[in-house]
Amino acid sequence: MKFTRFILVLFVFGLLLVGTSIDIMAEDDLKIVPIYEGSELIYDDIFGFEELPVILGEDTVNILEGYIRRFWLKAPEGRSPYEVIRNYEAAIDNIDGRVLFKTRDPQSIEIDEIDFSEYYNTTRQDRGLSTNVFSFTKYPEEITEYMVSRVTVDQVEKYIIVAAGRGHWAAGQADETYFEIVILELEGMEMDMVTMEYIKQGIEVDGRVAIYDIYFDTGESRVKADSEEALSVIAEFLLKNSGKRYLVVGHTDFVGSYEMNLNLSESRAEAVVTKLLNEYGISQKQLISTGVGPAAPVMSNQTEEGRAMNRRVEIVELE
């Protein structure tokens, strides 16, 4: 089982859905988390800083740590749990988000002898057993659709969990669809703060991780001395994963010619690998260097902020 700890802050997410419960939600919240059109918002729970296990596969649960917000809703009459999930999936796709995990059989998941409902029931307000919210207390066991997705907005990675299912039969709600949205936002990582957890998270979730605090002089490929802290953390990660191979990929902005930037990115990646081999004891068999120049920007190169984000070294998992 894989575990990753994230530092999270309150989610800001622009789903292309329509919010309708203005009397319950503040106007700003409607901009943050629009809800499926026609749905009834029952609860809006803000938990503050807590831990939350998020299931990201049949055998993978990541422990998220941070500020957690949940919306509990009743879908419009006649809408199925699958229809709710498909609408959110389409909205995420429209804003270039990515579904990390989706299942139509969440109740079959058991990880370390803990079943899906137990994991999913970790963080929710206690509403008692009153009939009108009985589905809420039983909800983890009634879920038939589950999806975790992620988007990046203004350089910040945002996670959204949507789960849907029918109401509980004992409350006469078996023909009604309920769903909840759990909102998490990954705090933007500050420069000079590469950690083992940051590298592990990137590799486990994306298969790659961007490093911004390996420094070079403009137009040069010599690794500067103030890159030592980042290199030490990278080396520690590589030594703990010595059975795996990785690419070290150089990236540049678009200032200058394409050929110049391509050559520069290749030289910088090679310089990083040479440092790791010669000064940190990493095996040559574990690393391959390459460069792509300006070919894979993460932001527009039209601003200095964007160009700074595009100048980076990435560690990419090969096997």
Q: What is the maximum span of the chain, computed from C-alpha positions, in angstroms?
A: 70
- Of 161, 186, 211, the last residue of a domain is 186
Six-digit token pair at 288?
């391959």
- Distance, in Å, from the CA atom of 50 to the CA atom of 148, rounded to the nearest integer, reads 18
Residues in the chain: 319
Looking at residue 31, what is its pLDDT? Answer: 46
159 plus 289 within the same structural domain: no
Query: What's the average model confidence in pLDDT over 248-267?
Result: 94
- Enclosing H/E stretch for 137: helix 134-142
Residue 91 lies in a domain: yes
In a domain, 145, yes or no: yes
Which amino acid is located at 199 in the chain?
I
SS3 33: coil
pLDDT tier at 126, thresholds 50, 70, 90: low
For residue 263, give the H/E element and its range.
Answer: helix 258-280
Whether residue 131 sits in one domain with residue 215: no
Q: How far apart are CA 53 and CA 115, in angstroms?
A: 12
191 falls within a domain? no
Shared-domain flag, residues 159 and 262: no
SS3 content of the chain, % helix, strand, coil (to 5): 30, 30, 35
- Per-residue pLDDT tens digits for 284-293: 999 999 999 9
Report the mean per-residue pLDDT for the chain: 81
Where residue 43 falls among pLDDT bands split at 50, 70, 90? confident
**Does residue 118 lie within any of the structural domains?**
yes
**Is residue 71 in some structural domain?**
yes
Same domain, yes or no, for 122 and 22? yes
Q: Classify 48 as helix, strand or coil.
A: strand
Q: What is the pLDDT of residue 94?
A: 78
Give me the half-sphere count of Cα atoms (radius 13 Å) on the Cβ side of residue 281. 7
List CB contacts of 233: < 8 A, sequence separation 6 or more: 194, 195, 196, 199
Assess whether 80 and 108 both reside in one domain.
Answer: yes
Total domains in the chain come to 2
End residue of a domain, out of 152, 186, 220: 186
Intra-chain end-to-end CA distance of the chain, in Å: 18
Domain end among 143, 158, 186? 186
- The pLDDT assigned to 13 comes to 39
**Residue 310 placed within a domain:** yes
In terms of domains, do 64 and 135 share one?
Answer: yes
- Whether residues 163 and 209 share a domain: the answer is no
* pLDDT digit string, tens, across residues 285-319: 999 999 999 999 888 888 777 788 889 999 999 97
Q: Is residue 13 part of a domain?
A: yes
- In CATH, what number is assigned to the domain containing residue 272? 3.30.1330.60
Is there a domain that residue 1 lies in? no
Q: 115 and 214: one domain?
A: no
Task: Judge if 167 and 281 occupy the same domain.
Answer: no
Tens-digit pLDDT profile for residues 129-160: 555 666 666 778 889 999 998 876 665 567 88
Pair (24, 132) in one structural domain? yes
Residues 243 and 305 in one domain: yes
237 and 182 within one domain: no
Task: State the average pLDDT over residues 68-94.
Answer: 89
Q: Which domain holds residue 243?
A: 196-317
C-alpha separations of 128 from 63, 132, 136, 242 in Å? 26, 10, 9, 50
CA distance 244 to 17: 42
Q: What is the SS3 assignment for 113?
A: coil
